[in-house]
Amino acid sequence: MCLACDTKLSAESLDEFGERYVNILNHGALAVMISIGHRTGLFASMRQTGPATSHELAERASLHERYVREWLGAMTCGGIATCDDTGSVFSLLPAASAALTGSDGAENLAY
């Protein structure tokens, strides 16, 4: 019997695939945003200066604040950065800072 020819589709298998597919899309988008953080120097700036607002970070990186704010939102949703209770001051998680900023050491995943 050809497994590829089995056309029976259960609602459960469709739901499982749908969930897996959404996760693939989310992780792909996060990977693009991580790349943007490297290419624009946003990760390096966050590591050097510590907690900052989107306005402060945009000014330091010579970027438009709106785009930096969206990027910070993606980093926060992706578990790479955190924000304070007001939702306006952002910080890299220590593990993300070590792994994504080009720091020396075995934990460096940046390059």
Beta strands in 34-86 (DSSP E): 81-83
Token pair 């402060």 is at which residue? 56
Give the mean model confidence (pLDDT) for residues 15-20.
Answer: 90
Q: What is the tens place of the pLDDT at every residue in 25-44? A: 999 999 999 999 999 999 99
Q: Is the pLDDT at 108 greater than 90, yes or no?
A: no
Domains and CATH numbers, the chain: 50-111 (1.10.10.10)
| Per-residue pLDDT, 111 | 54
Q: Cβ neighbours of residue 43 under 8 Å, at least 6 residues apart?
A: 37, 92, 97, 100, 101, 102, 110
> Do the Cβ atoms of 50 and 85 come closer than 8 Å?
no
